[in-house]
Structures are given as structure tokens and as C-alpha cells.
């Protein structure tokens, strides 16, 4: 039986020697957003590491059971709830990784109020739980979108840099909420001594993406599999920062176990920085061997809810200073993701 890229990744994470997994032995880890890509990837990794009890906070138990059908063990427990309501868990919790968030651009445009409520109320409820349970460590999963837009080509964006976000644009609800939630984290640290760290993720993908995933990387991968041209609805000039899912998971665990309270860390592979158009071209030429091409079909208005064009390259030196190092480049990320997508189709 051929090993999947996902199984290889999980084994790699479980055997990773540069993190003090022994500190997590017999601990309980709460992961919110447990049916999203980051949450699922983290939970699979924590179960692979072993001797860790994982509480997966979910809205839809049937969806969760389908996703984790092959990973069900006594170390995995589901708690069903709404993150925008008070989170009540009657047991010890040692660590929290807060992943719950709206991630679909169209929802951000069509349901901006719900997007804001999920972010703000959800984060407050998680921080209240962390305060009450006196947890060892919390990671708030933020986004590179919190940096906003930079007018000129700005490279090496560190955690101290900040660009422009127009608060009068509806789509700004997502990056503005990330900024506010980061500040809420710092506030809970300052006032209640909640040991929270912040992870600013680049766009993350790879082996193990979920059925129904429709972000740009999944669309490009399906174009390769079905041998259909890649259709772009913008000029593709926005510069993207990417990270392979295995590298991201190790990065998040590094922040959880080694990060400094109240600090933010970029989780991005600088070698995978490119524009959307360049990435599409790479996928067509190198992954699809030139059998498909890039087609531009640009609507007059932004009906798809895409973020504003930005030109920036995230600097991940701060996280690398904790011992983390991204290993999988953009081309290999696509190859591993498509290999797994074909295996489960």
C-alpha cells in the first residue's frame, strides 16, 4: 500500500526532535475550529505525537465524525458548541490553540457581521476559558492579512510592521478583527496573566486538505487533476506568502511550547513567496507539465470578496529564532497535496 503524503507528514511531526513533547505528556489540549484545515491538521498531529488528550471544539458533530473517522481514539473527545457563546468545559485544560475563524472571502463579504462576531466574541470566550482554567499556554491563530496593504514593494515584513486597512470597506472586517483580537490577547495577558502567544499565518495548504476546500490553492490543484485551465478573476498581482501544512503545524507547536507570552510570530516560508499569477503559471508549467494554461476572467466588481492587492514578503526570522525552519517549498507543497487529493478521490 502506497503511503500518503499526509501519513508521512504525521510520522515526521511525531518523530520531530526539536520540540519538548514530553512537556505535553498526559496533558489536555483544546483546539477550536476543529473541522477547519488548521484545526484538523493540528489534531491529527497531536494524536500522532501520542499521550495527549485532545478536545476538539466543533459546531457540527456529524461533520467532525466524518473528518476524524480514521483517527478516532480514546485520546480524542468532541465538545459541541458555538464559539460565540460562553465556552463551558468541566475538566482540566492545559493548552489551547484557538483556530476558529471565518476563512472564506465570500462569507466575509456576504456575512460581515457574523464574521466579526465569530472573531471577537469567540476570542473573548476562549480567553475567558483560558483565564478560568489557568492554562499553561494559549496560541491565538491570526493571519498575515492583519498587516494590511503596503503602497510600495515592501519586503521582509517583520512582526513590528503595519500597513493600511480601509475600515470603510466591508471586506476589511477580517483583517481588522484579527488586529483587535490580537490586542484582546495582549489585554488578557496584561490584566489576567493569560499566557497567550500569537501566530500570524501565511496561506497554509498541503497534504490533508479537506473535501470542499475552495481557496485558491485547492482550485489550482483541481485544475491540474481535471486538466482544466486555471481561471483568475483578478490580474493576480497580489503577492502571496505560503507555508506547507506540516511546517505550519510544527510552527504552531513551537509557538505553543517555546513562544514568549504577548509576542506575535510570522509563520511563513520566505522561499514560497510569489504573486498569484506567478504561482498559477508555475502550477500550469511544472505541476501540470504545460497541459493547462492560465486564463484571465476579471469581473467589473469584486464579487468574490478577494482581499485588496498587497505587496509584501513576510519575514519569519523571529520564529526561526525559536528553532523552527520551513522545509517544503511551493512546488513540492502542490505535489504532495495533489498526490493526496488523487489518493482519496
* Spatial separation of the C-alpha atoms in residues 254 and 18, rounded to whole Å: 9
pLDDT tens, per residue, the chain with 345 residues: 358 999 999 999 999 999 999 999 999 999 999 999 999 999 999 999 999 999 999 999 999 999 999 888 999 999 999 999 999 999 999 999 999 999 888 899 999 999 999 999 999 999 999 999 999 999 999 999 999 988 776 678 999 999 999 999 999 999 999 999 999 999 999 999 999 999 999 999 999 998 888 889 999 999 999 999 999 988 888 888 999 999 999 999 999 999 999 999 999 999 999 999 999 999 999 999 999 999 998 876 655 555 556 678 999 999 999 999 999 999 999 999 999 999 876
- Buried-state track 187-196, b at ≥16 Cβ within 10 A, e below 16: ebbeeeebbb
* Spatial separation of the C-alpha atoms in residues 103 and 236, rounded to whole Å: 20
Give how far the C-alpha of residue 281 lies from the chain's centroid of Cα atoms, to the nearest Å: 24
* Spatial separation of the C-alpha atoms in residues 228 and 222, rounded to whole Å: 8
333, 242 contact by CB (below 8 A): yes
Classify residue 304 by burial, with Cβ atoms within 10 Å: 0-12, 13-18, 19+.
exposed
* Spatial separation of the C-alpha atoms in residues 305 and 163, rounded to whole Å: 20
* Spatial separation of the C-alpha atoms in residues 71 and 16, rounded to whole Å: 20
For the domain spanning 5-208+242-272+311-328, the CATH number is 3.40.50.720
The dihedral sign for the CA sequence 72, 11, 325, 334? negative
The confidence score (pLDDT) of residue 181 equals 98
Give how far the C-alpha of residue 4 lies from the chain's centroid of Cα atoms, to the nearest Å: 21
Which distant-in-sequence residues (6+ apart) come within 8 Å of 142 by Cβ? 178, 181, 182, 198, 199, 200, 201, 264
Give how far Cα 152 sits from Cα of 81, 163, 164, 271, 309, Å: 44, 10, 12, 20, 11
Closest C-alpha to 307, from 170, 111, 201, 163: 170
Domain-wise residue ranges, the chain: 5-208+242-272+311-328
Q: Which three cell numbers stand for residue 336?
A: 504532495
Q: What DSSP assignment string belongs to 103-167?
A: --HHHHHH-HHHHHHHHHHHHHHHHHHHHHHT-SEEEEEEEGGGG-B-SS-EEEE-TT---B--T
Q: Which three cell numbers stand for residue 269?
A: 516560508
Global pTM value: 0.94
The confidence score (pLDDT) of residue 303 equals 56
* Spatial separation of the C-alpha atoms in residues 112 and 172, rounded to whole Å: 9
The confidence score (pLDDT) of residue 81 equals 97
Amino acid at each position: 500500500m502506497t503511503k500518503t503524503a499526509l501519513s508521512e507528514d504525521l510520522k515526521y511531526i511525531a518523530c520531530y526532535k526539536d520540540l519538548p513533547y514530553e512537556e505535553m505528556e498526559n496533558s489536555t489540549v483544546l483546539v477550536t475550529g476543529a473541522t477547519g484545515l488548521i484545526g484538523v491538521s493540528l489534531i491529527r498531529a497531536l494524536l500522532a505525537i501520542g499521550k495527549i488528550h485532545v478536545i476538539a471544539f466543533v459546531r457540527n458533530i456529524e461533520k467532525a465524525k466524518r473528518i476524524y473517522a480514521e483517527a478516532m481514539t480514546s485520546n480524542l473527545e468532541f465538545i459541541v458548541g458555538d464559539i460565540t457563546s460562553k465556552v463551558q468545559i468541566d475538566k482540566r485544560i492545559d493548552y489551547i490553540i484557538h483556530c476558529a475563524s471565518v476563512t472564506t472571502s465570500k462569507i466575509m463579504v456576504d456575512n460581515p457581521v457574523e464574521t466579526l462576531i465569530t472573531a471577537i466574541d469567540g476570542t473573548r470566550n476562549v480567553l475567558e476559558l483560558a483565564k478560568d482554567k489557568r492554562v499553561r499556554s494559549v496560541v491565538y491563530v491570526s493571519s498575515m492579512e492583519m498587516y494590511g496593504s503596503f503602497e510600495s514593494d515592501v519586503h521582509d515584513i517583520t512582526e513590528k510592521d503595519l500597513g493600511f486597512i480601509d475600515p470603510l470597506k466591508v471586506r476589511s472586517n477580517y483583517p481588522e478583527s484579527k488586529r483587535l483580537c490580537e490586542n484582546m490577547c495582549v489585554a488578557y495577558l496584561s490584566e489576567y496573566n493569560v499566557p497567550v502567544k500569537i501566530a500570524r499565518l501565511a496561506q497554509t495548504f498541503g497534504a490533508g486538505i479537506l473535501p470542499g476546500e475552495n481557496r485558491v490553492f485547492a482550485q489550482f490543484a483541481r485544475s491540474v487533476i481535471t486538466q482544466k485551465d486555471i481561471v483568475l478573476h483578478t490580474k493576480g498581482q497580489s503577492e502571496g506568502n505560503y507555508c506547507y501544512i506540516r511546517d505550519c503545524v510544527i510552527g504552531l507547536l513551537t509557538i505553543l511550547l517555546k513562544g514568549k507570552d504577548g509576542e506575535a510570530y510570522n509563520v511563513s516560508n520566505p522561499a514560497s513567496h510569489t504573486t498569484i499569477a506567478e504561482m498559477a503559471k508555475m502550477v500550469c508549467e511544472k505541476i501540470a507539465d504545460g497541459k493547462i494554461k492560465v486564463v484571465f476572467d476579471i469581473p467589473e466588481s469584486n464579487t468574490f470578496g478577494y482581499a485588496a492587492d498587497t505587496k509584501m514578503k513576510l519575514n519569519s526570522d523571529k520564529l526561526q529564532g525559536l528553532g523552527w525552519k520551513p522545509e517544503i517549498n511551493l512546488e513540492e507543497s502542490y505535489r504532495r497535496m495533489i498526490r493526496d487529493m488523487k489518493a482519496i478521490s
